[in-house]
Amino acid sequence: MNYLKKSGITLSLVLLILMSVLPLAADGGHSEPANVETSPFSNTTLFLLSIGLGIVVAGGRQMIGGAKLKVAQLAILALGVMTAILHLAVGMRGEVLMLLNGLGYLGLLGLLYLPINIVPSNWLQPLHWLVLGYTIVTLAGYFVLHPLGEYSRFGLATKAIELLLIVAIGMRIKQVSGGKAVQYSTRQRATSK
């Protein structure tokens, strides 16, 4: 089995573990709302919702989009949507920076994976690098803004998703730069062969 297939299987297994462990880790096993005054949803519910939406969006894009996406691309889409939903949920609780961060993820993912030609093909590789940098800054920003010992389970669980997103983006960049892909585009173009 080649490297990319092994990576896809590994990533799939990690996603399954994530789906079963992270919702409980976010609440510490409790199902009470994270902030009763501003949120009717518990952290567990938010994680399950983000996982479900991530899978539905990635699967839906695979079904309706022109070109079929590779495992790394599906992982980027699913993990990116999960991260965006979690940041938007925290943003709806009153943290504007998190709301903007979630919207930023949605915008970047839309540019990469909407099945319409918004971005020229030659911009897609730099766009993947931009998403990678954006995710690294978001991940590091959590630890900069929260002093040691003030990390929440919800925050750490979200950072675990972002770490997997970084791995998936790295896999995609490696797929393309390794000569495995003839064209970088995630979409079929009339000019491609």
Q: How confident is the model at residue 32 (pLDDT cuts 50, 70, 90)?
A: very low
Distance, in Å, from the CA atom of 124 to the CA atom of 147, rounded to the nearest integer, reads 36
- For the stretch 79-103, pLDDT in tens is 999 899 889 888 888 889 999 999 9
Q: Specify the DSSP class assigned to residue 61.
A: H
Distance, in Å, from the CA atom of 27 to the CA atom of 44, rounded to the nearest integer, reads 6
What is the predicted pLDDT for the residue at 124?
A: 80
Residue 28's region, left for phi above 0, alpha for psi from -120 to 50, else beta, is left
Q: Which tokens belong to 1?
A: 């089995």
Residue identified by tokens 């938007």 is: 88
Kindly tell me if the per-residue pLDDT of 113 is higher than 90.
no
Dihedral sign (CA 143, 145, 148, 151): negative
Question: DSSP letter string over 17-72?
Answer: HHHHHHHHHHHTT--SBSSTTT-SSBHHHHHHHHHHHHHHHHHHHHHHSSSPPPHH
Closest residue by Cα to residue 44 from 165, 161, 153, 163: 153
Distance, in Å, from the CA atom of 139 to the CA atom of 159, rounded to the nearest integer, reads 6
Strand, coil or helix: what is 44? helix
- For the stretch 122-131, pLDDT in tens is 788 888 999 9
Kindly tell me if the per-residue pLDDT of 191 is higher than 70.
no
